[in-house]
Structures are given as C-alpha cells and as structure tokens.
Amino acid sequence: MKPWTNPIFLDLLRIALMEDLLYGDATTEAVIADDANCRARIVSKSECVIAGQNVAQAVFHEVDRKTQYHAVIEDGCHASPGTEIATVQGNCRTILAGERIALNFFQRMSGIATMTRDIRKMIAHTECRIVDTRKTLPGHRILDKYAVRMGGGSNHRMGLGDGILIKDNHVDAAGGVAPAVHLARLRARHPLRIQVEVRNRDEAMAAVEAGAEALLLDNMQPAQVKDIVAGLKDSVFLECSGTISHQNVIAYAETGIHMISIGALTHSVKAADISLQFER
C-alpha cells in the first residue's frame, strides 16, 4: 500500500490539520477574502533529494478537493537551491491552511531521503546495503521508511510481526543464545527468517550452531565485524548496527558485511529546507 493511501497516514494527516485548524485560521480569515484564488510554488532552498510529493498533495486535497497540485519533479530526484518542486493553485485560504502541514511532511521526508542518498554514495564502491530501523517518529513510520527508499536505501522490519529478531534482552530473558534460537525455531511462523543480535564472536558462533539464518552484529568495532565476516559470510546473512554514521560507515561497509542498519536515518534527520511562495 502506498503511504499516502494508508489509513495510518490519513489519520495522522487529520490530527495534524486539527492541531492547526481546530479554531480556524484567525490571520487568514481576517486578511484574505474567502473567494480569493492564487497560485503558489513549492521551492527547494537547499540541496536535497525529494520525497513526499503525493503526501503534500494529500494534505492540500484533504483541506480542499478543488486545489490543483502539480509535481514538477518526482520523488527520488535531486533538487538544488531554487528548484521548483511543485505548484499549487486554488483558493488562497485553503492553500494557506495546508501550507505548514504539507511542508512539515515534505521537509522531514526529503531530509531522510537526502541523508540516505549521501550515505549510499559514500559506500557505492562496496556491495553493502543500507537499511533503516524501527527508530522512526511515532505515527510516521510508513512515511519515514518510504523516504529511505527514495534515497536509495532499503527497509528493515515495518513492525514487530514482520520478522524474528532475537535481541540482547530476548537472549538474556531466554537464558542464552542457543535456547532463544531453539524456541524461535519451534514456535515461529514458517516464512519468518530467524535473526539474532550478537555482541561478540562467541555469541555469533553459538547462534549459527543453533540454527540462526542471519546475525545482527551490534556495537562492534570494524575489526571485530571483519573477523566474523571472514568466517561466516558464506554461511549466514550478516548485518551490523550501532553508532554507525557518516564518520565510520565506510570502514564498516568495507568489512564485507552484507547490510548496515542506521537508526540515525530516521531518528536524527536534518529537515530539508523547502518553502511555499505565492506568486504576485
């Protein structure tokens, strides 16, 4: 399902509009005639990768179905400062009512896409994939993860039901790596791959011997990751995570790891600078 048609997003959109318009728009109602029409441009003011065209359109259409929205460039495309991203035409009051909410979604999503694209470029010489995590803004997960895809990244689990990921707290509560994996193999739904978060080489070997199909190497140094990759890359899928950023992602990607998950893509994003400008 496309994010802008998902009921979760539509509920989020209505809540966002309610925050702004619960008591109307005092300024616009005082200054702008109710029958005034206008045309506006949505413009990038920073270098960014665009994500959120259909989301922004959904905002304006939720306020007023008669509003005409035209995307000038597609999601996933690069925009330089001054690039016209979209045009909006219709009733002035309704465009102003939707402006801030549309830009809030647009700026966050484009910021995520931009950061993802930047990191992808840094490790383009490797075969490593970049994926997101569940460290998303509550209620925005479908949007955050869509934005990651627009930046060239991939999605990890959308929710807890999408896969078996046995993390450190599961391991500790189950009494060790091997018991946790054995229970997962016994009880898990058939199609779900069993992945185990491990903290050192001993846990990695124990997880593989117990039947894990994938490992998440958490908070390890590149040298530790490289050592495990050298011994297990051909027998199990390997992912690493934990404090990985622009500063060290190349070192991790060059270990030969299959995949790197980066929570910062969605929990520490810098919003793109995008504005809406009325045409005089």
Does the CA dihedral 211-200-121-56 come out positive or negative?
A: positive
The reported pLDDT for the residue numbered 2 is 87
Give the pLDDT means over successive 10-residue stretches in the chain (280 positions): 90 96 94 96 98 98 97 98 98 97 98 98 97 96 98 95 92 92 88 91 92 94 95 92 93 97 96 94
Q: Which one is catalytic: 144, 197, 203, 239?
A: 197
Are residues 137 and 213 located together in one domain of the fold?
yes
Q: Which one is catalytic: 100, 149, 199, 226?
A: 100
Are residues 176 and 230 located together in one domain of the fold?
yes
Are residues 107 and 125 located together in one domain of the fold?
no
CATH number at residue 25: 3.90.1170.20
Compute the CA torsion angle 208, 214, 219, 221 (nearest 10 deg).
Answer: 70
Q: Which one is catalytic: 120, 129, 167, 201?
A: 167
Residue 2 falls in the annotated catalytic set: no
Residue 167 falls in the annotated catalytic set: yes
The reported pLDDT for the residue numbered 16 is 96
Residue 135 falls in the annotated catalytic set: yes
Q: Which DSSP state fits 46?
A: S
The reported pLDDT for the residue numbered 94 is 96
Q: Which one is catalytic: 99, 203, 218, 239?
A: 218
- Mapping DSSP to helix (H, G, I), strand (E, B) and coil, where does residue 76 land? coil
Q: Which residues pair with 164 in a beta bridge?
A: 194
Residue 197 falls in the annotated catalytic set: yes
Q: Which DSSP state fits 215?
A: E
The reported pLDDT for the residue numbered 280 is 75
Residue 274 belongs to domain spanning: 3-118+270-278
Identify each DSSP E strand in the chain by its residue range.
37-44, 48-49, 68-71, 78-79, 84-91, 129-131, 164-166, 194-198, 214-218, 237-241, 259-261, 274-278
0.85 exceeded by pTM: yes
| Cα 8–Cα 11–Cα 14 angle in degrees, nearest 5 | 150
Are residues 164 and 60 located together in one domain of the fold?
no
Are residues 104 and 194 located together in one domain of the fold?
no
Strand duo 259-261 + 129-131: pairing: parallel
Q: How many domains does the chain have?
A: 2
Cα separation, 225 vs 213, in Å, equals: 17
Are residues 95 and 166 located together in one domain of the fold?
no
Q: How far is CA 122 from CA 63, 246, 253, in A?
A: 41, 8, 9
The reported pLDDT for the residue numbered 234 is 86
Q: Which one is catalytic: 135, 149, 185, 226?
A: 135
Q: Which residues pair with 87 in a beta bridge?
A: 41, 70
